Amino acid sequence: MDTTHIYNGPIGLETRHAGPIDGEVVILLHGFPECWSTWRHQIPALAEAGYRVFVPNMRGYGQSSKPADVSDYHVDELIKDVDAIRRYAGVEKVHLVGHDWGAMVAWWYALNKPEQLASLSILNVPHPTVFLGTLRKSPMQMLKSWYVFYFQIPYLPELTLPVNKFFFFRDILKRTSNKGSYSDEDFRELQKHWSIPGAMRAMVNYYRSAMRSQPKSPNGDRIKTPTQILWGEHDLALTLDMARGSEKYLENGSLTTYPDATHWLAHDKPEEVSERLVTHFRSYPA
């Protein structure tokens, strides 16, 4: 696996890549509060299956650029980063995979640039319309999303999250994933990323941008791209009903749920996720 910087104008994306240069292109997008290593189990499996895999640290993470303005983390800007990777790879269509915030960006890319996608795979994040609708109507979901509102406070999250060697992050990941899903190696890699100057503010700015300006798709809410949603049912932040509601927006899609998995599905079920991805890609070649 090699690392390069791919540029979207002034935004540099620290990107791991692997697999044959003539393979169909797969882009894997991580979420909060992780980094490229979300996909460390899937990268070798997809490369061995013949795919050319690109795994960026999203803007604000790792050694990727950390623009200062909250508006720089709007999903309209984030999908431009994805498209920069596609153009760097020199292909018309890619297979796009996202988890958590990476899944939200993947949904938005599919709504805005469906012509650039061969397939879409989503892990444990609902369609944007479903999420916003549920947040407005459900006091329980609002309570589950308390951290989104905490992150709106200026400066305080950046000061408190690093306390006691990022105890909050480590505790959340351990308590909300299956036992043993995160190794000591995983936490070492994550803590290295969390400690990079400017990372905390950038990571929190995703949530600030989302609350200040809600996006609107020019193409409506329907997803035309062949899509699979993979969902761990023991997600403490997002309900299974949101997954089922998201399936209704798919013109060609499926939902697969795992009663013994959590929000951190790529860690809980690494082999299963890899197999599902390869099967989906082969069903809809680029």
SS (H, E, C) the chain: CEEEEEEECCEEEEEEEECCCCCCEEEEECCCCCCHHHHCCHHHHHHHCCCEEEEECCCCCCCCCCCCCHHHHCHHHHHHHHHHHHHHHCCCCEEEEEECHHHHHHHHHHHHCHHHEEEEEEECCCCHHHHHHHHHHCHHHHHHCHHHHHCCCCCHHHHHCCHHHHHHHHHHHHHHCCCCCCCHHHHHHHHHHHCCCCHHHHHHHHHHHHHHCCCCCCCCCCECCCEEEEEEEECCCCCHHHHHHHHCCECCEEEEEEEEEECCHHHHCHHHHHHHHHHHHHHCCC
Q: What is the pLDDT of residue 67?
A: 97
Q: What is the pLDDT of residue 142?
A: 66
Q: What is the pLDDT of residue 220?
A: 82
Measure CA of the first residue to CA of the last residue in the chain; give whole Å. Answer: 23
Cross-strand bridge partners of residue 262: 234
Q: What is the pLDDT of residue 132?
A: 81
CA distance 179 to 234: 13
Q: What dotted CATH number matches 2-283?
A: 3.40.50.1820
Q: Maximum CA pair distance of the chain?
A: 49
CA distance 240 to 243: 5
Cross-strand bridge partners of residue 17: 2, 54
CA distance 6 to 14: 7
The residue annotated as part of the active site, out of 99, 263, 267, 280, is 263
Q: What is the pLDDT of residue 260?
A: 96
- Amino acid type, 56: P
Cβ neighbours for 57, distance < 8 A, ≥ 6 positions apart: 13, 14, 15, 30, 35, 36, 63, 64, 193
Query: Which residue ranges in the chain fall short of pLDDT 50?
Result: none
CA distance 67 to 33: 18
The residue annotated as part of the active site, out of 207, 267, 268, 280, is 207
Is 207 among the residues known to form the active site?
Answer: yes
- Integer-rounded Cα Rg, in Å, for the chain is 17
Q: Check if the beta carbon of residue 56 is closer than 8 Å to that of residue 29.
A: yes
The residue annotated as part of the active site, out of 30, 74, 88, 100, is 100
Its pTM stands at 0.96
The packing angle between helices 101-112 and 128-137, to 10°, is 120
**What are the extents of the domains in the chain?**
2-283
Is 263 among the residues known to form the active site?
Answer: yes
- Amino acid type, 164: N
